[in-house]
Amino acid sequence: MKVNLITWNVRGLNNQNKRTMVKSLMKKWKADAYCLQETKISKDLEAMAKQLWSCRWMKCGYLEAEGSCGGILLLWDSRIWSGTLVETGQYSITYEFVSTQIFFTWYLTGMYAPHTRIEKLICWEELAAVRTVCEGPWITCGDFNTNRTMGERRGGNRISYVMSDFSRWIEEMELHDPHLNGGKFSWFRGINHPSAARLDRFLYSMEWEEKFKNIRQKGRGRAWGWDKEVVPNTSGK
């Protein structure tokens, strides 16, 4: 069995052209679960989900945007996964997914981090608290609004306090932060603008690493996040 998950910082779904593009790509990718961040939508999200993914077995969960900031939308194929809400936080939403085909359960936390250092520390505390109730393979993905190294920001020349905070949090949480293939950055200010950085991440727990050995992570162009296609290690080795 494969888990095919797409995580994408869409940077707004309140434009019809953007929704049409997202719908087209979702149809092309044929994933069984999606995590879309920065929807910038605070109402009618179930109707939006049906518009994006016309699969009759689609189910969804969401965290509404605050004004024009943030917003998370999770979608999944209920023929493959049974999804149950675990926690809704200020910056994140967490679901438990149970396979309808084999004995396997995993957890997904979609998140969108704030911009200030103090708020980011609160956000990471929120994720750490959620992790304690997710007893099994766990993934957190989204826009962390922070890079870890100077090389993850075009023109970066120093390690800031918040960068150190973020790296320390990842290490204390014992999360894997895999290398991004297919591109160096996940965010660009504009086609001809020099600003670019890796702000989006896909972090996973040791339990996930133990269960899945064949992991492929692919860059999806400009700030489109990643997908994960994984094969369970059922031998226990």
Query: pLDDT tens digits for 24-34?
Result: 999 999 999 99
Let me know: does 141 contact 180? Beta carbons within 8 Å. no
Among 117, 177, 110, 189, CA closest to 153: 189
The pLDDT tens digits for 154-171 are 888 889 999 999 999 999
User: pLDDT band for position 222 (50/70/90)?
Assistant: very low
Q: For strands 92-99 and 105-112, give the pairing.
A: antiparallel
What is the pLDDT of the chain when averaged over all its residues? 87
Residue type at 185?
F
pLDDT at 114: 93
pLDDT at 231: 38
- Is the domain 3-230 a CATH 3.60.10.10 member? yes
- pLDDT above 90 as % of the chain: 67
Partner residues linked to 61 by β-bridges = 74
Beta carbons of 141 and 108 less than 8 angstroms apart: yes
| pLDDT digit string, tens, across residues 116-137 | 999 999 999 999 999 999 999 9
Q: Are the C-beta atoms of 4 and 227 separated by less than 8 Å?
A: yes
Domain residue ranges of the chain, discontinuous segments joined by +: 3-230
Query: What pLDDT sits at residue 88?
Result: 97
d(CA 108, CA 85): 10
- How far apart CA 96 and CA 178 sit, in angstroms, is 22
Position 237 pLDDT exceeds 50: no
Q: What is the pLDDT of residues 41-60, one digit of tens each?
A: 998 999 999 999 989 999 99
Which range has the worst mean pLDDT, 67-76, 99-108, 183-192?
A: 183-192
**pTM across the whole model:** 0.88
